[in-house]
């Protein structure tokens, strides 16, 4: 194996690609793993079913039923993933002991997550939860009822403070992302008023100045959700305008656009007008189905976009999908390993040769180089990176998950 790696390394060197430099750059690019794959977005509030137009399908045994199980699963899966990692949690993962309303949450309710993040030496990202709640049934921040809107504004304020406290304690900014499910099943008569109310509610929520060294605010658009097929208040135009005018980060979720649109093409526009972009790397199959992230052309295009432009400080990479039809540890590790793999692959492309061909308007040469680049000796380099990170290769990862399933997951009834 070692010999394969050395041979691959010199192969890349001949193309002007420095494998060791790629490794050290990759070491510094974090990918934020979403905790909610492990428990089907249930959280710890016992709120009942998932709503807000979100749907987790499947009933594979072994779902984490409480915080201890969820953290144990996350700790086990993180060992199988190379590269720099972060963890993304949601307000519904608070451990309050019961009876604390969402607008009264504070960082003390996330003490165990903070200890866990320190133990694991990873950063944390955060999300207010504007769904799976009795007051979220007919809208949240755009709701016409002042009291309901106010409740959600207060939840957002509480969550930004939690994000800032997390960022301060862990010494790196926490990205706190706002997504709301507000929309309507059938054609609305008035499309404007809910958007106006959302704009004002967000302004109220973001009124408090928070140091971006601790917390970065981000807003996430969507095309449609189940039960909100005809109108989504927080559309792409709404949030692009909002983020640009208020200096917020824009979250681009790969499943939240028309099926022929790709977020890899949106980053270079968004970053002309914004300091930061958050990615929800996901895989929509025909709709926003939140399938496990595969190493497909779009994942590669996203990674290449970031690497070619040196945007790894401005593009915050997070994953967002939930599949309950397969072993959840496999779902996590496949998506996380693929994202890291796509970044490494992008770091190893013969960038100089490609840029030169394009500059000379040698488009045939560019095409051929791009196609040939898909066939370079990548596998031994990837395996070596995994080895150096103390992570197994893919087959080893599968073996450990099977063992964990046998010893831990299968005992959960
Ligand atoms: C929903 C959004 C949102 C959620 C998570 C759980 O369509 O993608 O990001 O998936 O907050
Ligand atoms: Zn998302």
Q: How do residues 46-57 score in pLDDT, each as one tens digit? A: 867 898 989 899
Q: How far apart are CA 30 and CA 135, in angstroms?
A: 35
- pLDDT (tens digit, 9 = 90+) per residue, 185-203? 999 999 999 999 999 999 9
Mean pLDDT, range 176-185, rounded to an integer: 98
Query: Per-residue confidence at 212, pLDDT binned at 50, 70, 90?
Result: very high
- Provide the 3-class DSSP secondary structure of residue 228: strand
What pLDDT, on a 0 to 100 scale, did the predictor assign at position 1?
67
Q: How far apart are CA 392 and CA 240, in angstroms?
A: 40
Query: Per-residue confidence at 308, pLDDT binned at 50, 70, 90?
Result: very high
Q: Identify which of 379, 374, 383, 280 has the alpha carbon closest to the alpha carbon of residue 335.
A: 280
Beta strands in 121-266 (DSSP E): 123-127, 174-178, 183-184, 215-220, 231-232, 249-253
Q: Which atom of ligand 1 is nearest to the CA of 225?
A: 7
Mean pLDDT, range 229-237, rounded to an integer: 98
Neighbours of 49 (CB within 10 A): 8
Q: Identify which of 62, 30, 53 has the alpha carbon closest to the alpha carbon of residue 290.
A: 53
Beta strands in 91-156 (DSSP E): 123-127
Top-confidence residue, 220 or 55: 220
* Token couple for 242: 């909002």
Catalytic member of 34, 85, 109, 222: 222
The answer for 261, left when phi > 0, alpha when psi is -120 to 50, beta otherwise, is beta
Mean pLDDT, range 231-236, rounded to an integer: 98
What pLDDT, on a 0 to 100 scale, did the predictor assign at position 204?
98
What average pLDDT does the chain have? Answer: 97
Find out whether the beta carbon of 182 lies less than 6 Å from any atom of ligand 1. no
- The answer to which of 45-59, 120-134, 176-190, 390-404 has the lowest mean pLDDT is 45-59
268, pLDDT greater than 70: yes
The CA 379 to ligand 2 mean position distance, Å, reads: 30
Distances (CA, A) of 165 to 68, 142, 162, 193, 199: 22, 27, 5, 34, 25
Find out whether the beta carbon of 366 lies less than 6 Å from any atom of ligand 1. no
Distances (CA, A) of 208 to 130, 248, 329: 20, 13, 38
**Atom 11 of ligand 1: nearest residue by CA position:** 179
* Token couple for 187: 């054609």
Mean pLDDT, range 94-122, rounded to an integer: 97
> Per this entry, what is the length of the chain?
413
Q: How far apart are CA 141 and CA 152, in angstroms?
A: 6
What pLDDT, on a 0 to 100 scale, did the predictor assign at position 96?
97
pTM of the model: 0.97
Bridge partners (DSSP) of residue 250 are: 219, 277
């Amino acid at each position: 194996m070692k010999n394969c790696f050395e041979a691959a390394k010199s192969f890349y060197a001949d193309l002007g690609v420095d494998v060791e430099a790629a490794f050290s750059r990759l070491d510094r690019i974090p990918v934020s793993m979403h905790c909610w794959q492990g428990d089907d977005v249930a959280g710890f509030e016992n709120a009942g079913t998932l709503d807000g137009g979100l749907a987790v399908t499947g009933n594979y045994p072994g779902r984490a039923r409480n915080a201890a199980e969820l953290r144990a699963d996350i700790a086990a899966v993180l060992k199988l993933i190379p590269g720099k990692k972060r963890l993304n949690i949601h307000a519904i993962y608070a451990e309050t002991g019961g009876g604390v309303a969402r607008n009264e949450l504070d960082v003390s309710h996330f003490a165990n997550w903070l200890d866990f993040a320190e133990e694991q030496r990873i950063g944390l990202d955060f999300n207010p939860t504007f769904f799976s709640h009795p007051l979220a049934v007919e809208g949240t921040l755009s709701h016409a009822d002042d009291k309901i809107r106010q409740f959600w504004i207060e939840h957002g304020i509480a969550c930004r403070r939690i994000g800032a406290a997390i960022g301060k304690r862990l010494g790196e900014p926490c990205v706190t992302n706002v997504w709301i499910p507000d929309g309507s099943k059938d054609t609305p008569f008035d499309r404007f008023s809910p958007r106006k109310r959302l704009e004002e509610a967000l302004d109220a929520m973001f009124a408090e100045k928070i140091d971006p060294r601790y917390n970065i605010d981000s807003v996430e658009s969507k095309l449609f959700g189940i039960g909100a097929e005809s109108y989504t208040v927080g559309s792409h135009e709404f949030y692009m305008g909002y983020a640009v005018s208020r200096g917020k980060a824009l979250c681009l979720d790969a499943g939240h656009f028309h099926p022929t649109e790709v977020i890899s093409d949106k980053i270079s526009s968004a970053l002309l007008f914004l300091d930061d972009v958050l990615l929800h790397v996901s895989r929509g199959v025909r709709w926003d189905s939140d399938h496990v992230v595969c190493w497909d052309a779009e994942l590669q295009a996203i990674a290449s976009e970031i690497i070619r432009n040196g945007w790894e400080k401005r593009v915050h990479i997070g994953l967002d999908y939930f599949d309950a039809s397969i072993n959840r540890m496999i779902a996590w590790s496949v998506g996380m390993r693929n994202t890291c793999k796509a970044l490494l692959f992008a770091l190893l492309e013969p960038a100089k040769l490609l840029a030169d061909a394009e500059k000379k308007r040698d488009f045939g040469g560019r095409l051929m180089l791009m196609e040939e680049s898909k066939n370079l000796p990548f596998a031994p380099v990837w395996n070596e990176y995994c080895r150096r990170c103390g992570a197994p290769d893919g087959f080893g990862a599968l073996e450990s998950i099977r063992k964990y399933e046998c010893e831990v997951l299968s005992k959960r009834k």
